[in-house]
Structure 1
Amino acid sequence: MIIIIVKIVVSLFLGTLAGFAAIYIFNKMPAKWLCDYGHAPSQELKDPYIQRVKGFPWRWIYAAGFICLLIRLSFFDVRLAAAGLFACWAMLIIGLADLKYMVIPDQFVIMLALSAFGFIPYHSSVWQPLTGALIGGGVMLMVAVLGGAAFKKEVMGFGDVKLFASLGLVLGIKGTVSVLIASSLFSGIFAAVGLASGKYRKDEVRPLGPYICGCGIFYIFAVWPFLL
């Protein structure tokens, strides 16, 4: 009973800290991190007082999500909870950046890739994460190249390729394939609904990062514990 109480208390503290830190870091990170290479930041991005994401209610919503993640994973394995928090925190920042600014910051992609070390004990072999990275990055690269050749324009940024390669290191083969299918399905559904409702234009490029990160977070939260 004492161990359970300790896990819950620690989860409450770390989850709240992670939720508040996500908002603070996103609002305070250098403006150039949220720009494509070779582009200068806008005045809005450089404004030190602007809230890129409002603190209320989002810091509390994210804190609640991280608390649930930590409580759930810690009852399976404390080390898995730590790795899951690290990975999901990075994916939250990436998803927000791509949703708001159509940019995937390399700094947090690297952070996501580094979190893969915490998942190594839960893979059957070291080839699982390496193959996952090859599948995720390879499929995205193929889509980018073939889509660009077919439509004569960029259909996917290289940030999505790097993001999926890093996520593949975390999830391994099964997780990478699952997230590939799920993110493609959900992005397709939302695009179809947006086009049908007139919210999206036919030639409009929409961010894929939020779907990749959302499905990745869900996989770690809901599916991974059952694989242990």
Structure 2
Amino acid sequence: MITILIKIAASLVLGVLAGFGAVYIFNKMPAAWLSDYDAKPPAELTDPHIQRVKGFPWRWIYAAGFSCLLIRLSFFDVQFAAAGLFACWALLIIGLADLKYMIIPDQFVIMLAISAFGFIPYQSGLMQPLLGALVGGGVMLMVGVLGGAAFKKEVLGFGDVKLFACLGLALGLTGTVVVLIGASLLSGIGAAIAMASGRAKKDDAKPLGPYICGMGIFYIFIVWPFL
């Protein structure tokens, strides 16, 4: 009973720190991290008085989400919970950055890749992370090349390729395939709803990162512990 109470208390404390920390870091990170290479950051990013993400209610929402994630995963395995928190925290920042500014910060993609070391004991084999990275990055690269040739414009940024390669490294082949299918379906549904409601046009650029990150968090939080 004491062990259970300690796990719950630790999960709540770490969850609040992760949720509050995500909002703080996103609002305070250098503007250059949220801009294209060698591009001058817009005023919105350099103005210290502008909150990129509102503190209320988002830090509490994120804190509640991370607390639930840790409580759930800690009863599965404490090391898996730590790796899951590390990966999901990076995925949240990446998803927010792509949603708001159409950019995927390399710094947090590297953080996601580092989290892969924590998931190694839960892979079915040492080749799984490598296969996940090859399939995830390879499929995104192929879509980008073929889509660019077909539509004569960039349809997928290289940031998405790097994101999926590093996510595949963390999730392994099975997780990569699940996230790939799920993100593709959700992005298609989201684009259809946006166009049907008049909030977007057919040729508008639409970020894929939030769908990839959302499905990655869903896989770690819901699917993987049951496999």
* TM-score, normalised by the number of residues in structure 1: 0.99
Deviations 1:153-187 (A, max 9, x none): 00000000000000001111110000000000000
Between the aligned residues of both structures, percent identity stands at 77
Take 2:103 and 2:186, find their aligned partners in 1: how far apart are those partners? Answer: 20
Aligned counterpart, 2:186: 186
Q: What do residues 131-164 of structure 1 show as CA deviations (whole Å, max 9, x unaligned)?
A: 0000000000000000001000000000000000
Q: Which residue does the alignment assign to 1:160?
A: 160
1:91 and 2:91 equivalent?
yes
Aligned to 1:141: 141
**Greater shift after overlay, 62-71 or 43-52?**
43-52
Aligned counterpart, 1:225: 225
> For 2:194 and 2:124, how far apart are their aligned partners in 1?
41
**Aligned ranges 1:191-202 → 2 under 5 Å:** 191-202=191-202
Residue in structure 1 matched with residue 58 of structure 2 by the alignment: 58
Quote how far apart the aligned CAs of 1:37 are. 1.1
Give me the whole-angstrom Cα distance separating, in 1, the residues matched to 2:43 and 2:213.
28
Query: What is the distance in 1 between the residues matched to 2:52 and 2:194?
Result: 24
The equivalent residue for 1:117 is 117
Task: Output the amino acid matched with 2:217.
Answer: I
Aligned length: 227
Q: CA deviation at 1:49?
A: 1.8
2:169 aligns with 169
Provide the residue aligned with 1:22 in structure 2.
22
Which residue of the partner structure matches residue 213 of structure 2?
A: 213
Unaligned stretches of 5+ residues in structure 2: none
Deviation >4 Å, runs of 4+: none
Q: Which amino acid aligns with 2:131?
A: T
Distance in structure 1 (CA, Å) of the matches to 2:50 and 2:28: 9
Inter-partner Cα distance in structure 2 for 1:77 and 1:202 = 45
CA distance in 2, matches of 1:96, 1:112: 15
Deviation at 1:213, TM superposition (A): 0.2
Q: What is the match of residue 151 of structure 2?
A: 151
Output the CA distance in 2 between the equivalents of 1:126 and 1:17: 33
Rounded Cα–Cα distance in structure 2 between residues aligned with 1:51 and 1:57:
13
Q: CA deviation at 1:38?
A: 2.3
1:43 Cα deviation after fit: 1.2
Normalising to structure 2: TM-score of the pair?
A: 0.99
Query: CA offsets per residue over residues 47-84 of structure 1, 9 Å max, x none?
Result: 11210000000000000000000000000100000000
After the TM superposition, which residues 28-43 of structure 1 pair with which residues of structure 2 at under 5 Å, given as runs?
Answer: 28-43=28-43
Q: Distance in 2 between matches of 1:10 and 1:49?
A: 33
Partner of 2:10: 10
Mapped to 1, the partners of 2:193 and 2:124 lie a distance apart of: 40
Give the SS at the match of 2:18.
helix
Q: Deviations over 1:79-116 (max 9, x none)?
A: 00000000000000000000000000000000000000
RMSD over aligned Cα, in angstroms?
0.5
CA distance in 1, matches of 2:62, 2:176: 24
| Unpaired segments ≥5 residues, structure 1 | none
Name the CA distance, whole Å, in 2 between partners of 1:124 and 1:103.
Answer: 33
